[in-house]
Chains A and B, each alone.
Chain A
Amino acid sequence: MLALAAESTWPLLALQPPGWGAVLLRGLWNSVLIASGAFGLGFLIGIAGAYGKLYGGPVAKDLLAVYTTVVRAVPELILILILYFAVTDAVNQIMVAMGQEKIEISGVAAGIVVLGVVQGAYMTEVLRGAILAVPVGQIEAGRAMGMSPLRIARRVTLPLMLAFAVPGMANLWLIATKDTALLAVVGFAELTQVTRQAASTTKAFFTFYAAAGVLYLILSIASTLIFSRIEARARRGQRVMGR
């Protein structure tokens, strides 16, 4: 029964215009674009946050604790809504204050900023743990050689912590790709939203949702493979247990 109903609607997935395949792929591309941007922004916030939590002043530490706790306690869906309206509002207020016209903020930019702030909170914790796992002697050796803090971060801490951070970061990347689906609530044309449009236009609900599921699955399997490569590379030079 299931197969029968789906079979008659498979041609709808064709790439040429009567089919919606190209639309779905463009949605997937948008999802990947936003996930990459948010992951990158999250990484930058995460590095700053992790250093702030480890070496920052007491006030910075407290503020960062509030940031990571609140972001991790409130559902992403609600954070996305609050941040989406707050960010677009703030930008427009600034534009008006500067005597400019109000602007329409691109969905991609808003999506990247909103998801990036969410990712940053989780990334802060991941990177903080990874930095703590770097042997203290390595950092002390850097200091003894007279390296500046920035150089120690660039040449010692960050490369060494990467091996410990990659599993957590791989998880966060998978979360980022799946969280892009939440941007459907603000009407952004990522994969889930275009799938919903295609499904409600053609009434072939099962076919389109199944197809989108397969696309997400391909993305997650490909990501897992790539990250295991990266981890192997980050761990080169580490002693293998039991050898």
Chain B
Amino acid sequence: MAETRTAPVTAKPVPAASMLSQLLIPRRLVMLGIAAVLVALIVIYGRWGWLAEPKYQTLIVRGITNTLILLVLTMGIGMAMAIPLGLAQAVGPWWLAAPARGFCGLVRGTPLLLQLFLLYYGIGSLFPGIEGIRESWMWPILRDAWYYAIFGLAISVAGYEGEIMRGAFKGVPHGQLEAAKAMGVPRFTLFRRIWLPQALHKVLPTLGGETVLTLKATPLVAMITVVDIYAVASRVRSETLITYEPLLLLALVYVVITAGIVVLFRRFESLFPTRTA
């Protein structure tokens, strides 16, 4: 136990003091000054009056909440699907590996926007033709764009992450698995206690980047009528006829969430001690 605690950690968080001193170089101060002037100009001369309206304030809060819920849910569901997909591709028999590879190729080979359209407008338009479906308990779910958005995004995450998990499962040292087998560890325990944790540890740095990519894919759900922060901004734009300001706010929101994800994953990584040579 003591060993793991004292083991050196690779992902050293950069101390705040040194980050600050990096910014205090004269040329960077000048650049910061120019940036501050630009931001000030945008704030002063931009049309931000709509931000004061309570109607838009509640919409913005709801939009950001929806975007975050969508991100967390789809990453969770997508990763849960990606683990079997990766395992099937890495060590599965051909009748499991081939469909898994086909699924990943299909998801990665077509635009997400088209997948969402196909799910919501395409498959969604076929459901009303099934008899008795309007009376069944499933109808409210089948009619709601929100579930199509979660399903579509989760499938997309699963497709991209399945490919990454395949590499991660293959990358776990063989000796670890052989040692466990020699000790008579049951197969499922071996997977749960040895194989999966090490594979997840390996993909953690990649996973942060993938989460940012998923965040950047979420505004597409606005195209199938889900109210996320992008949809709110589009509504503001069409109602107030302001072109740029809502888009700039939108960009700021996504940059802030991205920064949050990066910080969160840096903390995750520093939780797991890594041996460095």
A interface residue numbers (CB < 8 A to B): 1-2, 5, 58-59, 62-63, 70, 72-79, 81-82, 85-86, 174, 178-182, 184-185, 192, 195-196, 199, 203, 205-206, 208-210, 212-213, 216-217, 220-221
Contacts and interface: CB of A to CB of B under 8 A. Distances in A.
B216 A76 contact: yes
**Chain A binding surface SS class:** helix
B230 A78 contact: yes
Contacts of A82: 244, 247-248, 251
A22 to B, nearest CB: 19
Given A205-B117, A206-B118, 7 more contacts: A78-B250, A82-B247, A82-B248, A82-B251, A85-B244, A199-B121, A206-B123
Contacts of A180: 111
B37 interface: no
B114 A181 contact: yes
Nearest to A193: B113
B209 to A, nearest CB: 9
A226 B212 CA distance: 29
22 contacts: A2-B123, A73-B212, A73-B255, A73-B259, A75-B216, A79-B251, A82-B251, A85-B243, A178-B111, A182-B111, A195-B117, A196-B117, A203-B125, A205-B121, A205-B122, A206-B123, A206-B125, A208-B122, A209-B117, A210-B118, A216-B111, A220-B108
Please classify how large the interface on chain B is, using the bins under 10, 10 to 19, 20 to 34, 35 or more: 35 or more
B9 interface: no
Interface string B2-34: 000000000000000000000000011001000
Interface string B114-132: 1101100111111001100
B106 A217 contact: yes
B247 A5 contact: no
Interface string B219-249: 1100100000010000000000001100110
A70 B53 CA distance: 29
Contacts of A192: 111, 113-114, 117
